[in-house]
Amino acid sequence: MLSKASSISVSTMSALKANRQKRSSLSRQLFGDLTSISDGILILASGILAHILYFPLFSTTGNWTLTLTGAALGASLTVLVMRYRGIHTLSALLEWSRNFGKVLSTWALTFLGLIAIAFLVKSAGTYSRGWAITWFFFSAASLGMGHLAYAWALRKLSSAGHLRRNIAVVGAGSIGKSFIDHASARDPYLHVVGVFDTRAENGRENDLVLPVNGDLEDLIQLAQNQRVDDIIIALPHAAKTRILSIAERLAVLPINVKLSPDEIGYSFLNNTMEVLGGVHTQIIHTPPISNWARVAKALEDRILAVTFLALAWPLFGFIALAIKLNSPGPVFFKQQRHGFNHEIIKIYKFRSMTVQEDGATVKQATKSDQRVTKIGFWLRRTSLDELPQLINVALGEMSLVGPRPHALAHNEEYAELIKHYAQRHKVKPGITGWAQINGYRGETTDPRLMEKRIQHDLFYIEHWSIWLDLKIIALTPFKGLVHPNAY
């Protein structure tokens, strides 16, 4: 990819000028915009074609205003969702077979959304269901063929060299090497035309890890005689004066000049950027559940918790009576636990022991534990002792699904033993969770068992979705309620 280290001579530059590359680089953003517009036109045209074919075929009269309004709205919404899902990026467009399912699922979800909108505004009855179904299948077919055509055209353009992006790197040190290694691995159409640095001329060859093709003057001459799409300044951000000087010298070129990440930046390459107060910042950590996702999970918790409480009140009464008849003491047991963001909350449980430990030392229940009452044994074995935590969920202190809250004493102990343990508190604790339905519950005498539990909790946090919650709730009666380790 890089030529042999040498300074670019005047004769070499003359040759480059004489044989200047004629192929131009197509803007990837422009191509993405064009395919977006094309998809919108395909959906709109499918709606019009469905109108022309469907209504005469079934001898009915269609309303062109309704057809054009519905088709235009469907086209606009679908394109917006496709752009959001990255369907019109270069890599997605090239991989037609992998992208096809994503295209169809996006169109199907948008179509269902249109039906929901029509129902809410009470206009569903004005539209022909036959036309809508015809439009759906015509659009699905046209989108499939359209994306196949995009992939074919892109491959043709690629073979002609139009998709290649020529870049020059300023900085032959470790940061320059990191940039080239990472960028080339992720973009097969990236072509490094040269690496340039002034340190070699200053007797600082030991600082360089890449072969050098020249200094800044050589780079400027190269960029004036050969197509260079981007110049990357790959230097430590601490070298502020040097970077500003280089940027000023390169300002004579009508070319994108960009600053690569510093060494620490490569640890967060997959993270997104956000403009904050006019400043571009790189997001290192984000709340796993935020914005509308947080609203959706809150609604899920409150609605289901209130529903389950309404259905389970006879069971609550029966269990409360059995506890009072079996042993003296209160029906409910309250214990402090860490909740969201380490907030201390009091969780409710049916009392299953003769003791109510909630101090600096809390002993986990063991097999044949003498502290467990007869009723408590069955409550713990079937996890019915956790039912009162539906109250915590209804109050917004817990979720139906999430990492199980541990006693404060156990929290402090395991936080020192297990890496990333504290990350469990980035979401609300739950009554059931991914770890529980996978068998990791009950006594944890072996720290490795707790480590496995934490791994499952972190997997849940990273991959959270409403569908995952519903899956865990549905599996809990079969995999999470009864377990031999629940003492």
pLDDT in tens, 175-222: 999 999 988 887 777 889 999 987 755 555 556 788 888 889 999 999
Closest CA to 183 of 171, 203, 165: 165
Answer whether residue 37 shows pLDDT above 70.
Answer: yes
Same domain, 137 and 185: no
- Domain end: 126, 159, 192, which one? 159
Given a cut of 80, whether residue 74 has pLDDT beyond it is yes
pLDDT digits (tens, 9 = 90+) for 164-175: 788 999 999 889
pLDDT, tens digit, for every residue of 412-441? 778 877 888 888 989 999 999 999 898 887
196 and 329 part of one domain: no
Whether the Cβ atoms of residue 110 and residue 74 lie closer than 8 Å to each other: yes
Q: Which of 19-33, 189-203, 347-361 has the lowest mean pLDDT?
A: 19-33
* Cα-based angle 247, 259, 30 (whole degrees, multiple of 5): 105
Please report whether residue 53 resides in a domain.
yes
User: At 358, is the pLDDT very low, low, confident or very high (cuts 50, 70, 90)?
Assistant: low
Range of the domain at 435: 291-480
pLDDT in tens, 265-308: 777 777 777 777 777 777 888 888 888 889 999 999 999 999 99
Number of separate domains in the chain: 3
User: 402 lies in a domain?
Assistant: yes
For residues 373 and 355, the answer to whether their CB atoms sit within 8 Å is: no
Decide which of 159, 192, 227 is a domain's last residue.
Answer: 159
- The answer to whether residue 272 is domain-embedded is yes
Residue 474 burial (C-beta neighbours within 10 Å; 0-12, 13-18, 19+) = exposed
| Spatial contact of 386 and 404, defined as CB atoms under 8 Å apart | no
